[in-house]
Amino acid sequence: MPAVVTYDPIAKSSDCAARRGRLHTPHGTVELPCFMPVGTQATVKGLTVPMVRETGAEILLGNTYHLAVRPGTDLIARLGGLHTFMGWDRPILTDSGGFQIFSLGQNAEISEEGAVFRSHVDGRKIELTPERAMQAQAELGSDIAMVLDHVVALPNPPEIVRAACERSIRWAERCRAVAGDQTQFAIVQGGLDAEMRLWSAEELTQLDFPGYAIGGLSVGESPEEMYRILQVTCPVLPERCPRYLMGVGRPQDILESVRLGVDMFDCVMPTRNARNALAFTDEGPIRLRNACHREDPRPVDAQTPSAASGVSRSYLRHLFAAGEMLGPILTTSHNLAYYQCLMREIRDAIEADTFMELYNAKMRGWQQGPANG
């Protein structure tokens, strides 16, 4: 099976930078723009693989750090790779562990060689270098492997952002040197410094990666600051390559980012919020624990087919109030289906060259919010 991943452009909006394309991978084609549910530990929390498929998801994200800690990427390799291990036969993208270096904060020691930190499971020392990050992802057998990058919180002093950005370029070169036949995406860094972002993008473009991610955002900055960086960065990334905004996000962030030229997204927001009784809809989020839903016979969202379609808001509220696991399961199914429906609408609108009409209608609905939340 060839490991190459290729991008085919299909259509562009005449009113903005929104793009419609296809990503061809060893495990199938992904329609772009797309949203990738997060399967941190080889599972999308609360759902079986058939349930994930039913939401319309075509590609998942796996977490290299967590899988390396438990059960071990070498064990997964012996059992046939991540696709076989979790029973998912569609494409998988794996992150490199760079965000975990960031999230571990003071517990990680970072040098030019890589990062050293303690496992959150058993306290053993773990060394993550660019070479080890690529080896682990090769053992997982993902369709797309992300290079190791150095993520820092925002805001941060310019010298810290610059040092992390420059290190990320050097680490990307080291990842590229050990790529093998697995497709790698590079990650543009540079914080909120537009010039640093442009420099990072230009340096990585020279290394000729088949795809480019925009990282280091959604880590403390405002949405407006994120959009400003996207507006600067997307136009200098190659038209022939997919663009992936890491860790984003809210439906309105996705729509705005598509308008600016982004093709791929991932975020824990739809699943994490579902476990806390929040459901996404075109009229804004619905908080299912609220008393106003106690006798509400309506489905959570009549426009989004999902495992939750056949039950009422009253029933969902009851499940959460009773602490029943079915509440988070059904709401997770709904939220992921809602995100996939949104992506389908976006793709159809770009092809019909009506994206800005969809954009304005969705934004109005989300800003207005539900009458009873």
What is the set of active-site residues?
Answer: 95, 266
Taking the C-alpha atoms of residue 41 and residue 67, their distance in angstroms, rounded to an integer, is: 6
Give the whole-angstrom CA distance, residue 173 versus residue 179: 10
CA–CA distance, 7 with 24 (Å, rounded to integer): 6
What counts of helices (H) and strands (E) characterise the chain? 14, 17
Q: Are strands 92-95 and 60-63 parallel, antiparallel or unpaired?
A: parallel
DSSP 324-363: -THHHHHHHHHHHHHHHHHHHHHHHHHHHT-HHHHHHHHH
The candidate with the shortest Cα–Cα distance to 265, out of 273, 255, 279, is: 255
Task: Give the largest Cα separation in the chain, rounded.
Answer: 61
Q: Taking a C-beta distance cutoff of 8 angstroms, is the pair 271, 335 a contact?
A: yes
Structure tokens at 271: 């699943």
Alpha-carbon 158 to chain mean position: 27
296 and 313 in contact (C-beta within 8 Å)? yes
The residues pairing with 287 across neighbouring beta strands, listed in sequence order, are 278
Closest CA to 321 of 270, 372, 287: 287
Q: Are 176 and 208 in contact (CB under 8 A)?
A: no
Is residue 215 a contact partner of residue 151, using CB atoms and an 8 Å limit?
Answer: yes
Collapsing DSSP to helix, strand or coil, 24 comes out as: strand
Q: Are 285 and 273 in contact (CB under 8 A)?
A: yes
> If residue 53 lies in a helix (H) or strand (E), which one and from where to where?
helix 49-54
Rounded Cα gap, residues 290 and 347, in angstroms: 34
Q: How far apart are CA 129 and CA 59, in angstroms?
A: 26
State the Rg of the chain over Cα. 20
